[in-house]
Amino acid sequence: MQTLILVVSLLGSIAFCKGTINGMTRKFTIRDIAQLAGVSIATVSRVLNHKPDVDPQTRERILHIMDVHSFAPDLSAVQLAGSPSRRKLSSPHAFPPDFLWGAATSAYQTEGAVREGGRGPSIWDTFVREPGTTWHGETGDVAADHYHWMLDDVALMKELQLKAYRFSVSWPRILPQGNGPINACGLDFYDRLVDALLAHDICPVATLYHWDLPLALHEQGGWLTRETAYAFADYAELMARKLGDRVSWWVTHNEPWCSAYLGYGIGTHAPGIRDFSSAVLASHHILLSHGLATERIRAHAQTEAHIGITLNLTPIYAADESEATQQGVEQLDVLHNRWFLDPLFRGTYPEQLFNNLGVAPPAIKNIDMQIIATPLDFLGVNYYSRSLIRTPLRTQHYEPVVPVPEASYTQMAWEIYPQGLSDMLLRVQRDYAPSAILITENGAAFEDSWDGRGHVPDKRRVRYLHEHLLELETVLKQGVPISGYFVWSLLDNFEWTDGYSKRFGLIYVDYITQRRIIKESGRWYAAFIKEVTATN
């Protein structure tokens, strides 16, 4: 791995920021920032590079000073020694002409309006109201208010040069009870969204489930019952009939591992159940619902449908060469990656899965695995970081990750490791050979702030995106069939248990006024898309 080291002279005079004091603009060195904060130059550079070893109070003091005085690291100054960000794409032609350049969101995280337009409650509406489940008890009640700002947001997508937009449909907004009476107002919202996207030449990519199970279905057993799988298939058919004349890209589920493991296994996500037998059973019914929905969409969409599922995949690396660590790598790979890859592409669960979790296999009916392994048109891959581990897993509540002192980290405390994206894609292509792959999420949370003058500098995100796109170019040249790339996310939004404390967006959202400001990374991404598409 190429370590990320800020280039700083002993006098702190190489890397500098622009700031304004008493109406005068001047260049501030890192030494200036350090003096104002009462810390060393090295400490400031470690904060700028997201090193995890700076105590939170010091980090906040440095970032506050930068915000107050509009300090913004200059990209030319914050060059990283040996960083891939110094490289450029060797050939923009590596990306095919019909490549889907996009950004993504989800319904509960962005829409708000949870009690408007006939929407029914979801499991997240109740989960966030349980004490201690989210940062400061924050909820998605308003979020980025996309429900009311939808047309403005689509106009911003056009300004960002997006060729595609991946959104999720709120199941309880369409079917407040999960099945039964249809909410026409909810259907109308997505009808208008799709029409607005197409009017701006933006391809709609619809995700049918991003964790917001209708509460009424949960009260009847939720994903622990087969009935929910069939209810999901009915819902998928309804959406295909309604939008299938204009939507040709469909994602059945987003990150079913999170729904099953976090929601039913360790209980940190809705519905908050802590039982690994339940997690396994829920995962089976979610996968079954995917296969059933795939068949329904193919039967009822009026255009050629491209149907897939999105998995959050994490490459697992060994921190040493010991036999015990190699065993741990295999265990974690089964738990995090093969749990869903194997049934989808091989029609079977990995043998080690149930031993690792210490549970019995779920009750599987004769044709379940055949339905689950219904051929995909594409696999969606969400990539954020890697896991570097040492020794075997000792518990299902695994925390085997070894910290990397020389690495850089996002605000989520995830190591920035672009090579993991290419390693994971090459492995998936080698072992499972999907006909196409969409990078359905890739992005980072950083401590973004508005400078008060209409600018949100976030060069760290620019660098993050650039480095990961370089990895995409690499695997495309090696024959991996990548069809699109979606930044997570279009907008700052409600980040689940982290509430509004983490910002992933290309667009900054002032949660008090709902004002939108395109960040520096959004401007960069727009210019990148324009340059790449102009050469094809």
> Is residue 111 part of an annotated ligand binding site?
no
pLDDT at 80: 31
For residue 63, pLDDT over 50 is answered with yes
> Is residue 306 part of an annotated ligand binding site?
no
What residues act catalytically? Answer: 255, 441
> Is residue 370 part of an annotated ligand binding site?
no
> Is residue 384 part of an annotated ligand binding site?
yes
288-297 pLDDT, tens per residue? 999 999 999 9
H-run or E-run covering 431:
helix 419-431
Give residues with Cβ within 8 angstroms of 129, minimum separation 6: 137, 139
For residue 457, pLDDT over 90 is answered with yes
- Please name the CATH architecture into which domain 1-82 falls: Orthogonal Bundle (1.10)
Whether the Cβ atoms of residue 349 and residue 343 lie closer than 8 Å to each other: yes
> Is residue 148 part of an annotated ligand binding site?
no
pLDDT at 32: 74
As a whole number of angstroms, the distance between CA 429 and CA 424 comes to 9
Domain with CATH 3.20.20.80 in the chain: 95-534
Closest by CA to 344, choosing from 383, 315, 381, is 381
Domain with CATH 1.10.260.40 in the chain: 1-82
Closest by CA to 290, choosing from 371, 235, 346, 353, is 371
Q: Write down the mean pLDDT value for the chain.
A: 89
> Is residue 165 part of an annotated ligand binding site?
no
108-122 pLDDT, tens per residue? 999 999 999 999 999
Whether the Cβ atoms of residue 221 and residue 227 lie closer than 8 Å to each other: yes
For residue 18, pLDDT over 80 is answered with no
CATH of 95-534, one of 3.20.20.80, 3.40.50.2300, 3.40.50.300, 3.60.21.10: 3.20.20.80
| H helices present in 351-412, as ranges | 352-357, 368-372
> Is residue 109 part of an annotated ligand binding site?
yes
- Label residue 34 by pLDDT band (50, 70, 90): confident
- How many alpha carbons fall within 13 Å on the CB side of residue 151? 2
pLDDT at 257: 99
**Coil, helix or strand for 19?**
strand
